[in-house]
Structure 1
Amino acid sequence: MSLDTPQAETRLERLTAHEARERLEHERASRLAQLQAIEEAGPDVEEQVRSAQKDTIQRVLTQVEASFDRVQDGSFGICRGCSRPIPVERLEILPYTQFCVPCQRSAA
């Protein structure tokens, strides 16, 4: 993003810090609820499946926590691959993402 980009245009491209924190807090709460549900699951759930689910959720929670740091330092919503703004639509779906879609594909 250019330093001479008008403020109104910037707002359309990026979430505010408040909006980002709200989305991340919602994501964190959802993942913590999932972890609790896994912990409370009865013996019907195989331990290997339970462990894999917990690992996946923990990985996402780590990404969510790192996103709070990016909100704090002002780098939230900026792709770590190309340094361009990540589209708001992508951040609405994956508020903890570090990459735009093209860079995510390249990283995978």
Structure 2
Amino acid sequence: MTTDMGRAPRLTHHEARQRLAHERNSRLAQLRAIEESAPHADEDLQAAQTAAIERVLEEIDAAGRRLSDGSYGACNSCRTTIPVERLEILPYARFCVGCQQRAS
């Protein structure tokens, strides 16, 4: 995390890339666990879990593209900087908390 005088702290490109990679690896491990439990699991539950994880993987990929094009860390709605604390917890966040709450 870097800080400039008068500017909000931000994740460095490297830190953001690491967090996104960690999130991706975690979700891929979840998918493997679901696949391994296939013979013993409820098919509808398994399909729902797989779909939810795949949506998160899409969000992670989109965050990677934002990181590459320089728009990472800016709210997709109001364009303000997403607080670093939010990005540390949810590195693929597209919206600041206020805009996310309004969208929900």
On whether the aligned pair clears a TM of 0.5, the verdict is yes
Question: Match for residue 81 of structure 1?
Answer: 77
- Residue 95 of structure 1 aligns to a residue whose secondary structure is coil
Deviations 1:44-103 (A, max 9, x none): 320000000000000000000010000101111111111111011111111001001100
Confirm whether residue 37 of structure 1 aligns to residue 36 of structure 2.
no
Q: 1:87·1:100 contact (CA, 8 Å) conserved in 2?
A: yes
The aligned counterpart of 2:54 is 58
1:7-26 equivalences under 5 Å are 7-10=4-7, 12-26=8-22
| Residue in 2 that maps onto 1:97 | 93
Unaligned runs of at least 5 residues, structure 1: 1-5
Query: Cα offset for 1:43?
Result: 3.2
Instruction: Provide the residue aligned with 1:106 in structure 2.
Output: 102
Report the identity percentage: 54
Letter in 2 for 1:60: V
TM-score, normalised relative to structure 2: 0.91
TM-score normalised by length of structure 1: 0.88
> RCO greater where, 1 or 2, for CA within 8 Å and sep 6 or more?
1
Q: Return the letter of the residue paired with 1:94.
A: L
